[in-house]
Structure 1
Amino acid sequence: MSNGINLRPWREERRQLRQTQFVYLAVATLLLGLVLSGFWWWSSNQSIQAVQQENQLIRDQLGVLDAEIREVTELREKREQLLQRIEVIQSLQRQRPVTIELLDQLTGSLTEGIYLTDVRRQDNQLTIQGHATPSQALSDWMRSLEQQQRFSEPVLRSVTSDESIGANRFDLLLPLAEDQP
């Protein structure tokens, strides 16, 4: 009993249809994979470029900060130099009356026949060079220096006779009194 229905061509057509669908689906999947890969590659490149731009911006800002740090350092150094200058000036201002008083007492104590050629102050002592016409004038002047309130006992370092000027050259060390600045 055969009906005469041939199922073979129908199965063959269905198999070919499924094969065609499979090929289309495989090509579509491949294309979708390529599109997704391309998008991922483009997205990665964009991210890398964004990071590189951020890094460059950070480098630029670091350069600006380094320049500002150098400027601040230079300004601090200038400030320190100015403060040191101000201190020196203030010190000189404080010592001006003392120096005037020292010179006033020194010249007020001079006796006749004493001629000063060099007076130098270093810390708390004066170094005095000069010449005395009679040798007694030097002794009188040294006694006069001892009586001044700003000076301690003078120390005569050397006395030499100078025939060219007809006087004795002397080198005297005069310490300042301890309680004086």
Structure 2
Amino acid sequence: MAKINLRPWREELRAEKQKQFVTMLLGAAIVAAGLAFLWKTDMDNRIAYQESRNDYIEAASRKLDSQIKEIEELRKRREELLARMEVIQDLQGKRPVIVRVFDELVRTLPDGLFYTDLTKEEGRLTIAGMAESNSRISSLMRNFESSDWFSNPNLTSVAAAESGRDGYSDFNMSVSQTTPEPEEESDQ
């Protein structure tokens, strides 16, 4: 006899395929959700790692900024100290010069003449004094001309003394202060 299948096999096959499709769709959705979760977790970890690196860089940057400020303050203090040292060295260097200038003022001073006022402005000395005679003033000017420390004496005024000293003349003059070149020592 012939075998005839009266069962609805097509509907069963369709139901079976639909069940497989739903299972595969559900499986794909679970795998996609798992991949999405892994991707999100990886991105969160990367973001957290980058934020920690950014925090480290910001902390290092703040530390460097404070060090830069400290370095600038140290540089400023160094410049101030160098300026002070330069002033001190300049004063130390000029100290023997002023002593030498006063010594030379005494050496050029002839008898019968004395100074009443000395003023120095920018390498020029203004001298006021009293002299017994005009020849003493001329002698002082010649002494200044022959001096290594002074040059260009300029007599501005000579007048009879007002202080009651008979025979004395008040005078005002100016003279340029020069610093002689140090003498080279010869090898003997």
TM-score > 0.5, shorter chain as reference: yes
Q: Which amino acid aligns with 2:175?
A: L
What SS does the aligned partner of 2:181 have? Answer: coil
Aligned 8 A contact 2:152 2:175 in 1: no
Over 3 Å counting, the alpha-carbon distance change for 1:162 and 1:41 in structure 2 is: farther
What SS does the aligned partner of 2:149 have? Answer: coil
Deviation at 1:22, TM superposition (A): 1.6
Map of 2:114 onto structure 1:
114
| Residue-pair matches, total | 177
What SS does the aligned partner of 1:2 have? Answer: coil
Aligned 8 A contact 1:118 1:129 in 2: yes
Over 3 Å counting, the alpha-carbon distance change for 1:173 and 1:145 in structure 2 is: closer
Map of 1:20 onto structure 2:
19
Cα distance in 2 for residues equivalent to 1:89 and 1:161: 42
Which sections of structure 2, spanning at least 5 residues, go unmatched?
Answer: 184-188
Q: TM-score, normalised by structure 1?
A: 0.76
Q: Does 1:132 align with 2:130?
A: yes
Cα distance in 1 for residues equivalent to 2:127 and 2:149: 19
Cα distance in 1 for residues equivalent to 2:118 and 2:149: 19
Which sections of structure 1, spanning at least 5 residues, go unmatched?
Answer: none
Map of 1:51 onto structure 2:
50
Map of 1:173 onto structure 2:
175
Over 3 Å counting, the alpha-carbon distance change for 1:143 and 1:45 in structure 2 is: same
Cα distance in 1 for residues equivalent to 2:114 and 2:81: 43
Q: TM-score, normalised by structure 2?
A: 0.74
Cα distance in 2 for residues equivalent to 1:175 and 1:134: 25
Over 3 Å counting, the alpha-carbon distance change for 1:7 and 1:131 in structure 2 is: farther
Over 3 Å counting, the alpha-carbon distance change for 1:160 and 1:8 in structure 2 is: farther
Map of 2:186 onto structure 1:
none
Deviations 1:17-45 (A, max 9, x none): 23212212211211221221122123212
Deviations 1:121-156 (A, max 9, x none): 63xx33123132545243332233334342234222
Moved more, 73-82 or 30-39: 73-82
Map of 1:32 onto structure 2:
31
Aligned 8 A contact 1:116 1:128 in 2: no
Deviation at 1:11, TM superposition (A): 4.7
Q: Which amino acid aligns with 2:177?
A: P
Deviation at 1:162, TM superposition (A): 8.1
Aligned 8 A contact 1:118 1:130 in 2: yes
Over 3 Å counting, the alpha-carbon distance change for 1:162 and 1:75 in structure 2 is: farther
Deviation at 1:106, TM superposition (A): 0.5
1:46-125 correspondence runs (5 A): 46-111=45-110, 112-120=112-120, 122=122, 125=123
What SS does the aligned partner of 2:151 have? Answer: coil
> RMSD value over aligned CA atoms?
3.0
Cα distance in 1 for residues equivalent to 2:81 and 2:67: 21
Deviation at 1:67, TM superposition (A): 2.2
